[in-house]
Amino acid sequence: MTESIGAIVLAAGSSTRLGRPKQFLVYRGQPLVLRAVEAATKAGCAPIIVVAGRDTDSIIETLAGSQATVVHNRDWEQGMGTSIRVGIETLMDETPDFAAVLLMVCDQPFVHENHLRLLIETRSRQKNRATIIASSYCETLGTPALFDRSFTQDLRSLVPGKGARPLLQAHRSETISIPFAEGGFDVDTPEDYQQLLRMPFGKAVFGGLGRDHAKPREVVAQQIFGQDEE
């Protein structure tokens, strides 16, 4: 019997450093939020929950025709932990028997269906599936990350401003890391976006990112599972 793997795409941030909503930045012909949803769809995730904040109506419009369910987080300004909680509770309502949940953000442009499949396949090969399968880059762990359903209550109880980073730290011995060098690049500033548009796509995804493209370890750790915007 095939397990049900849900996905939560965090897309409620205000993108203050960028100056405009990063969810709608276009890369290779698609808004970033749609790229994330399509990667999860092609990897076999269902349902796919997109948690939105200030720009909920625009995200609904952008994702029209996709397989995503968009939900509004009225407490989005309090931090990423509230969006994870809303996503988990929506997933529980839609698919009570889900086996695991894939946690994603929408500003990692090099997330590809193949990497998501690798996370899911790694879980399927474990005798004890009560684990976390996380992506590793810049000497830290981050999204995309796959959490077994046994972590449901932990994900619902996260401190609003700190996201899932403390959960990963607390369960490091139960976490399997999958290398994903490209995960170290995300879009937070206009300079990041311009760098993205100049970056050779094939080299970035299949050849790995060099040190010039990756952000410092402490910055990545804060942005992915810390207090920074989604």
What pLDDT does residue 160 have?
A: 87
pLDDT band, very low/low/confident/very high, at 230 (cuts 50, 70, 90): low
What pLDDT does residue 155 have?
A: 96
Contacts of 165 (CB under 8 A, 6+ apart): 221, 224, 225, 226
Q: Tell the CATH topology of 5-225.
A: Spore Coat Polysaccharide Biosynthesis Protein SpsA; Chain A (3.90.550)
pLDDT band, very low/low/confident/very high, at 14 (cuts 50, 70, 90): confident
User: Over 50: is that where the pLDDT of 227 sits?
Assistant: no
What is the domain partition of the chain in residue ranges?
A: 5-225
Work out the average pLDDT over 50-71.
97
What pLDDT does residue 217 have?
A: 43
Work out the average pLDDT over 70-92.
96
What pLDDT does residue 202 have?
A: 47
List, in sequence order, every residue forming a beta bridge with 68; answer none if it has no partner.
48
What pLDDT does residue 209 have?
A: 44
Q: For the chain, give the secondary structure using H, E and C.
A: CCCCEEEEEEECCCCCCCCCCHHHCEECCEEHHHHHHHHHHHCCCCCEEEEECCCHHHHHHHCCCCCEEEEECCCHHHCHHHHHHHHHHHHHHHCCCCCEEEEEECCCCCCCHHHHHHHHHHHHCCCCCCCEEEEEECCEEEEEEEEEHHHHHHHHCCCCCCCCHHHHHHCHHHEEEEECHHHHCCCCCHHHHHHHHHCCHHHHHHCCCCCCCCCCHHHHHHHHHCCCCC
* Residue 179 backbone phi and psi in degrees, to 5: -60, 135
User: Over 70: is that where the pLDDT of 23 sits?
Assistant: yes
What pLDDT does residue 208 have?
A: 41
Work out the average pLDDT over 21-26.
96
Question: Residues 190-215: pLDDT tens digits?
Answer: 999 999 999 875 444 433 444 344 45
Do the Cβ atoms of 49 and 91 come closer than 8 Å? yes
- Nearest-angstrom CA–CA distance, 98 and 106: 22
Question: Residues 112-155: pLDDT tens digits?
Answer: 999 999 999 999 998 777 789 999 999 889 999 999 999 999 99
What pLDDT does residue 201 have?
A: 58
